Structure 1
Amino acid sequence: MTAPKQIKLTLIRSLAKRLPKHKACVHGLGLKRMHQTVTVTATPENMGMVNKVSYMLRIEEV
């Protein structure tokens, strides 16, 4: 069995003056401040949040 695919996310834009749903997606992905990087599993739930706020993130495959 293969390991689940991982993606590395970095917040590159501020959360100031963003839609509440977009802020919630960023917090749901585990990001709290600018230039913070987290690694998450590429589940459909996480990928939906990433797609919604992709304009604020740097996305890299691990």
Structure 2
Amino acid sequence: MERQMVMWPAVTLLGFLVLTALVIAMGTSSTARYEAEKRAASASRSRGSAPEATRATATATAVL
């Protein structure tokens, strides 16, 4: 009877630790994916806007 009293809290603690590790692993992988997508979008935006900025500067200079 006493063995059963110790077993259930241990099983509960082990389950909690396993689920906590699973949540941390899932959060880490989704955060890494989000950051990679954000960097890719930022890089494509900065590459796309550089020619537009050059064109705008040339147009403004020609108007002056």
TM-score after normalising by structure 1: 0.19
* Higher helix proportion (structure 1 or 2): 2
TM-score after normalising by structure 2: 0.19
Structure with more relative contact order (C-alpha pairs < 8 Å, separation 6 or more): 1
